[in-house]
């Protein structure tokens, strides 16, 4: 899937007064006016246009089974994507969306109804604005949506609070008050009056709850082989991102079976704390495929960070996005198809850590004052101090958040706003799953946290990434497996581990691993904290109306003085300041 700014789709529709439109159009589209575009530059679309077309269908992303769906509908296998999607919608309705094999976003207008769909991966954005006004504007790019509507840009305080707590902003929230993100796995239907958004359910799936682990491994092997083969079909210079972990190593093994000319690409870091190069090299060597290790300088990281600040649709603080952008730049000029293991965590699920399971299920039942006493007592004993986190939370969901962002009271001190996270997707998901199994909670919360690193880097670079784990034949199958096949408290990703063991000896990869990470502390400290000082000490930041500059500088001074506990908090502020500087109109 290749993403580049301006290459998605955008459009708007409005239901005009029926009397004035009487006789102007066919019965199926009487009263509709609007405009849409796809496959060209979607920025700068005029807010006024002629009558809407009788029907259209736009698609961005992957559509691996285009030919088979066309054949099932009685169409030529080389029919246009628009013709296939319109015919599929007319036959199956919303049931067409789970049939599409690949990460994607779709817009369909047919029979006086606009339908927007964003697949469950969330790797392709889709935004809309204004259904309550009788006009609905939509776009796969937030900047294009704002330009098209011409609405004054007002930053949403709750989105800012969410960013400072979580490091990203999950749909339906966006950084702008006026724009809404369609949540992943949802479909929005609008016929000119009310808009209805609903989660799209998977196709009916055979009961595989009694499938043995060995049979599950064999079935997954066949499905993943098919997915990898389809996504490398026609590639002249294929590659796979290889971190040395289970997901990427498995994709490398399957790709090597089909394409021995595939190249494994690994991002290396100086030192041993973050560098997974030795494991990746061992896997590639065993598979007999070419292995390329990419290493970048601090100067390159700094330049990439500034590019991201300019190109990101909204603030996002995953530190790994910086090296990811540089890697995608390289891959975009050297390879024409790159496989990535994103999706494996989401479909298998992650069991929460033991301390979080105990705290959310049992410790959280104690009053906060009691928990404060317990936490204080634990902190006074060096051997027990690390367990204090189990009792000193304000809300139990905090123990399961990915990034160590600012707490609620800290954000209130930074912004002078009252802060609540109750309406965030993460907290709402926790409350709806709180008393389910730990496996269900972990999986639901993992999918409630955006995976914006790749989408943002793909838009900035234009590289072509493909995601075999999000196949329509892989993701639902793995999700339907018994929990004991997917993971146990001591063996996460059990079915994936078993499958990888068929191709690569365990002693090469079954090692402690921290996941793809970036030496953030080293980056921030480089050249006397140059990047952090450049943005947090700038005159523009000193006068920003959203975060108190003196309070943010206090965190920077703590980091400079050696307090590493505030590293990610300073990063949140630096990334926000850089984004605000690159989007000056936010101050209007």
Q: Can you give 303-321 as a three-state secondary structure string?
A: HHHHHHHHHCCCCCCCCCH
**Higher confidence at residue 171 or residue 42?**
171
Q: Please, which residues have CB within 8 angstroms of residue 320's CB and are 6 or more apart in sequence?
A: 453, 516, 517, 518
**Which string of DSSP letters, residue by residue, matches 521-553?**
HHHHHHHHHHHHHHHHSSHHHHT-SSS-HHHHH
Show me where the domains of the chain are located.
56-199, 213-342+452-508, 351-451, 519-587
Burial class from Cβ neighbours inside 10 Å (0-12, 13-18, 19+) for residue 522 reads: middle
Task: Report the distance separating Cα 198 and Cα 372, nearest Å.
Answer: 41
Whether the CA torsion 231, 233, 235, 239 is positive or negative: it is: positive
Helices (H) and strands (E) in the chain, counts: 25, 15
Q: CA of 232: how far to CAs of 235, 252, 340, in Å?
A: 5, 12, 12
Mean pLDDT along residues 294-306 = 96
Strand blocks (E) in 268-351:
290-294, 337-339
Angle 213-232/246-258 helices, nearest 10 degrees?
60
How many CA atoms, within 13 angstroms, populate the side-chain half-sphere of residue 236?
A: 4
What confidence tens digit (pLDDT) does each residue in 121-138 have? 999 999 999 876 778 999
Mean pLDDT along residues 351-367 = 90
What confidence tens digit (pLDDT) does each residue in 172-198 have? 999 999 899 999 999 999 988 778 888
Tell me whether domains 56-199 and 213-342+452-508 share a fold.
no
474 φ, ψ (degrees, to nearest 5)? -100, -55
Q: Which of 136-150, 310-324, 463-477, 512-526 has the lowest mean pLDDT?
A: 512-526
pLDDT at 47: 47
Mean pLDDT along residues 367-389 = 89
Mean pLDDT along residues 290-313 = 96
The CATH H-level (homologous superfamily) assignment of domain 213-342+452-508 is HUPs (3.40.50.620)
- Spatial contact of 583 and 317, defined as CB atoms under 8 Å apart: no
Q: Please, which residues have CB within 8 angstroms of residue 408's CB and are 6 or more apart in sequence?
A: 165, 394, 419, 420, 421
Task: Report the distance separating Cα 324 and Cα 311, nearest Å.
Answer: 14
pLDDT at 193: 75
What's the start-to-end Cα distance of the chain, in Å? 35
Mean pLDDT along residues 481-492 = 87
pLDDT at 586: 53
Mean pLDDT along residues 288-317 = 96
Indicate the DSSP class of residue 502: T
- Spatial contact of 116 and 182, defined as CB atoms under 8 Å apart: yes
Q: What is the bridge-based pairing of β-strands 127-129 and 113-118?
A: unpaired
Task: Report the distance separating Cα 257 and Cα 202, nearest Å.
Answer: 30
Mean pLDDT along residues 454-472 = 90
Please provide the CATH number assigned to the domain covering 56-199: 3.60.20.10
Whether the per-residue pLDDT at 25 is higher than 70: the answer is: no
Whether the per-residue pLDDT at 223 is higher than 60: the answer is: yes
pLDDT at 524: 97
The C-alpha angle with vertex 527 and arms to 523 and 530, in degrees rounded to 5, equals 75
What confidence tens digit (pLDDT) does each residue in 343-354 have? 999 999 888 888
- Spatial contact of 120 and 79, defined as CB atoms under 8 Å apart: no
291 φ, ψ (degrees, to nearest 5)? -130, 125
Angle 277-287/246-258 helices, nearest 10 degrees?
20
Whether the per-residue pLDDT at 49 is higher than 60: the answer is: no
- Closest of 227, 21, 256, 52 to residue 137, by C-alpha: 52
- Spatial contact of 524 and 563, defined as CB atoms under 8 Å apart: no
Q: What is the bridge-based pairing of β-strands 263-267 and 238-241?
A: parallel
pLDDT at 23: 28
pLDDT at 21: 30
Q: Which of 212-216, 296-300, 580-584 has the lowest mean pLDDT?
A: 580-584
CB atoms within 10 A of CB 312: 24
Gyration radius of the chain's alpha carbons: 24
Task: Report the distance separating Cα 117 and Cα 139, nearest Å.
Answer: 11
Q: How confident is the model at residue 46 (pLDDT cuts 50, 70, 90)?
A: very low
Mean pLDDT along residues 291-304 = 97
- Spatial contact of 216 and 474, defined as CB atoms under 8 Å apart: no
How many CA atoms, within 13 angstroms, populate the side-chain half-sphere of residue 204?
A: 0
């Amino acid at each position: 899937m290749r993403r580049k700014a301006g290459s998605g789709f955008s459009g708007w529709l409005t239901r005009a007064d029926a009397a004035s439109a009487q006789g102007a159009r066919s019965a199926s589209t009487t009263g509709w006016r609007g405009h849409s575009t796809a496959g060209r530059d979607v920025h700068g679309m005029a807010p006024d246009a002629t009558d809407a077309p009788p029907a259209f269908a736009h698609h961005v992303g992957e559509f691996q089974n285009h030919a088979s769906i066309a054949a099932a509908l009685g169409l030529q296998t080389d029919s246009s994507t628009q013709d296939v999607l319109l015919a599929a919608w007319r036959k199956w309705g919303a049931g067409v969306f789970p049939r599409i094999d690949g990460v994607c976003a779709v817009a369909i207008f047919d029979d006086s109804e606009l339908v927007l769909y964003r697949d469950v991966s969330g790797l392709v954005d889709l935004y809309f604005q204004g259904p309550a006004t009788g006009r609905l504007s939509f776009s796969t790019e937030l900047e294009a949506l704002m330009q098209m509507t011409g609405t004054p840009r007002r930053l949403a305080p709750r989105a800012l609070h969410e960013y400072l707590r979580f490091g990203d902003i999950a749909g339906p929230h966006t950084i702008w008050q006026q724009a809404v993100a369609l949540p992943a796995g949802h479909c929005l239907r609008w016929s000119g009056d009310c808009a209805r958004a609903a989660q799209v359910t998977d196709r009916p799936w055979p009961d595989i709850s009694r499938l043995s682990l060995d049979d599950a491994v064999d079935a997954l092997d066949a499905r993943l082989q098919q997915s990898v083969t389809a996504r490398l079909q026609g590639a002249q210079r294929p590659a796979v991102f290889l971190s040395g972990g289970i997901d990427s190593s498995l994709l490398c093994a399957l790709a090597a079976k089909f394409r021995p000319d595939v190249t494994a690409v690994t991002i290396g870091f100086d030192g041993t704390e973050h560098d997974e190069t030795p494991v990746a090299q061992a896997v590639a060597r065993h598979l007999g495929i070419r292995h390329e290790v990419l290493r970048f300088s601090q100067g390159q990281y700094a330049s990439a960070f500034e590019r991201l600040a300019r190109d990101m649709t909204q603030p996002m603080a995953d530190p790994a996005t910086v090296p990811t952008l540089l890697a995608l730049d390289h891959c975009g000029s050297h390879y024409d198809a790159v496989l990535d293991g994103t999706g494996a965590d989401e479909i298998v699920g992650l069991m929460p850590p033991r301390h979080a399971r105990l705290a959310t299920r049992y410790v959280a039942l104690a009053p906060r004052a009691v928990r404060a006493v317990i936490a204080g007592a634990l902190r006074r004993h060096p051997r027990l101090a690390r367990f204090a986190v189990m009792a000193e939370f304000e809300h139990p969901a905090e123990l399961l958040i990915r990034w160590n962002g600012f707490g609620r009271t800290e954000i209130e001190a930074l912004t002078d706003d009252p802060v609540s996270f109750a309406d965030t997707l993460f907290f709402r998901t926790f409350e709806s799953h709180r008393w389910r199994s730990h496996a269900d909670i972990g999986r639901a919360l993992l999918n409630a946290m955006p995976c914006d690193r790749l989408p943002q880097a793909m838009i900035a670079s234009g590289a072509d990434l493909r995601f075999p784990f999000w196949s329509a034949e892989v993701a639902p199958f793995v999700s339907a497996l018994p929990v004991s096949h997917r993971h146990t408290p001591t063996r996460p990703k059990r079915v994936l581990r078993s499958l990888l063991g068929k191709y690569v000896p365990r002693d090469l990869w079954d090692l402690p691993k921290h996941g793809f990470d970036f030496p953030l502390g080293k980056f921030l400290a480089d050249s006397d904290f140059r990047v952090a000082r450049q943005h947090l000490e700038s005159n523009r930041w000193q006068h920003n109306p959203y975060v108190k500059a003196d309070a943010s500088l206090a965190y920077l001074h703590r980091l400079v003085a050696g307090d590493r506990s505030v590293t990610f908090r300073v990063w949140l502020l630096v990334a926000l300041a850089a984004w605000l500087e690159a989007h000056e109109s936010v101050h209007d």
